[in-house]
Amino acid sequence: MPELPEVETTKRGIEPWLLNQRIERVVVRQPQLRWPVVDELKLLEGQTVRGLSRRAKYILVETDIGTAIWHLGMSGSLRLVEPSAPAGKHDHIDWQLGNGKVLRYHDPRRFGALLWIEPGTDSDHLTHLGPEPLSDDFTAEYLFRRSRGKSQAIKTFVMDGKVVVGVGNIYANESLFLAGIRPATAAGKISLARYERLVSEIKQVLARAIEQGGTTLRDFVGGDGKPGYFAQQLFVYGRGGEQCKVCSSVLKEIRQGQRATVYCPACQR
């Protein structure tokens, strides 16, 4: 599924085409997404996009009358197309823009969503979230403090959106490998010094992935129609049973929280 770098890539890809543009028409072909598309979203017609931002894996599109919130789910993508481009089976929502382009939401599995909040209100989907991983609020001291007394495995701990947002399965695998920490280690048993390295690696891995356009998985395509290439640099994710690129040991694969976890038994302790 699209993770934080892919969502950030999408936001950056569509932002130049949406910012300060008038939304001329909203076309909803399929209102039954992860959460039903509410009627209030038709109020966007005639509104100008005042700002775009990202919170966790949500893209927020601000107007004078409220904020539309996109979530790409497991297979969703936002693409800019020409008005003449025919809509496919899984093209569920179009925003026709004043510049002649169409922002099209494509989602085969329909696990994504388009939400709506009025000015001065908060979304229940956002209020419980932890800090952004690339922000100054996400520090080793913060993780160390939150982890005290936790027997939860470190991988599932850093993937908890209430602890820190956007560290999905791919990037948790990679960051733990680079930090030399086994993913099953109890979060409460990790020292401050090791958290210093882990936080540093999380920030670097995510920053590199954003810079390179996200990781191409299944049918994800960025807002500009170009896939990302970070997958070429993955050390462990999806490589169970293969040789470690650092020490040549055989990488082990286990299941944690119904997700595949790959690690090196020699490099990670």
What does residue 249 show for φ and ψ, rounded to 5 degrees? -65, 160
Helical H segments across the chain, by residue range: 4-18, 140-147, 154-158, 169-179, 192-211
Of 2, 5, 133, 183, the active-site residue reads: 2
Which candidate in 12, 22, 197, 259 is catalytic?
259
Contacts of 202 (CB under 8 A, 6+ apart): 133, 138, 158, 164, 167, 171, 175
Number of H helices, E strands in the chain: 5, 10
239 is catalytic: no
Point out the catalytic residue in the list 54, 57, 79, 104.
57
User: Hey, how many other C-beta atoms are within 10 angstroms of the C-beta on 225?
Assistant: 11
Picking from 141, 143, 215, the residue whose alpha carbon sits closest to that of residue 173 is: 215
Q: Which of 3, 6, 62, 174 is catalytic?
A: 3
Beta 252-256 vs 259-263: how paired, if at all? antiparallel
Identify the residue whose tokens are 């930090």.
179
Q: Tell me if residue 259 is catalytic.
A: yes
How far the first Cα of the chain sits from its last, in Å, is 28
Q: What are 72's two structure tokens?
A: 């790409």
Q: Which residues are catalytic?
A: 2-3, 57, 259
